[in-house]
Chain A
Amino acid sequence: EVQLVESGGGLVQPGGSLRLSCAASGFTFSDHYMDWVRQAPGKGLEWVGRTRNKANSYTTEYAASVKGRFTISRDDSKNSLYLQMNSLKTEDTAVYYCARVTTVAPGGGAFDIWGQGTMVTVSS
């Protein structure tokens, strides 16, 4: 079964750090771009960032709202995706989803597989 499972969410104080993980199974993880998407409580979907595949040098992209604070990485040997979040702000409070990108076109493609999400709460 094709599956993504996030973990690592929780409560953290403003200015703190947290590392999310996403475990992939049922497909060739190394072939795909992988993204993080978040959703603040009661709000819409916000793209967070991307890691491309090995063929595209594992390059990364970030939304302006998280650039310089968040880092996306991957370990293809472990079929795992990571999101290191530093200098967290209250506005980073959201459910964080990892998602598989369908194509390796310059802009990516659609998100055809999603994890169940992990909640991150930034509060004092």
Chain B
Amino acid sequence: DIQMTQSPSSLSASVGDRVTITCQASQDISNYLNWYQQKPGKAPKLLIYDASNLETGVPSRFSGSGSGTDFTFTISSLQPEDIATYYCQQYDNLPLFGGGTKVEIK
């Protein structure tokens, strides 16, 4: 079975900082990797699909990259409204989510 390792589990950064989250798959998943944002008490929201494609309506400060086993999610300039938990999700076979990264403001 594929395992997804997402890191860090939490981070604290200042407004305007560049924030990077990584997701590593235990085997090659090509570009079958999505990223979601979840705010407290809300459903997740799709931000990035197929590793690097920005979902319609999502601000351009969010980006994704990678293929194979190593993937990166970046917020180029952290904004107060970006406080949330972020999840990666692979779909090479059946869906599997990473453990999540809680992003807080320093």
Contact = CB atoms under 8 A, between A and B. Distances in A.
Interface of A: 35, 37, 44-47, 50, 61, 63, 97, 102, 105-112, 114-117
B91 A44 contact: no
Contacts of B100: 44-45
A44 B95 contact: no
Given A44-B97, A46-B97, A109 B91 contact: yes
Contacts of A108: 91, 94-95
B55 A112 contact: yes
B66 interface: no
Contacts of A115: 43
Nearest to B94: A61
Which of B32, B36, B43, B92 has most chain A Cβ within 10 Å?
B43
Which size class do B's interface residues fall under?
A: 20 to 34
When A and B form their complex, which 8 residue pairs have the shortest distance between CB atoms, in order from nearest? A114-B43, A107-B91, A110-B49, A47-B95, A110-B34, A45-B97, A44-B100, A112-B46
B73 interface: no
Contact of A47 (B34, B50, B92, B96): B96
Nearest to A46: B97
18 contacts: A37-B95, A44-B85, A45-B36, A45-B38, A45-B97, A47-B94, A47-B97, A63-B94, A97-B44, A105-B91, A107-B93, A107-B95, A108-B95, A109-B49, A111-B89, A114-B43, A114-B45, A117-B43
A41 to B, nearest CB: 12
Interface string B15-39: 0000000000000000010101010
Contacts of B89: 45, 110-111
A94 B82 CA distance: 25
A112 B53 CA distance: 13
Contacts of B99: 44
Contacts of A116: 43
A25 to B, nearest CB: 16
B71 interface: no
A111 B44 contact: yes
A45 B87 contact: yes
Given A44-B87, A47-B97, A50-B94, A110 B43 contact: no
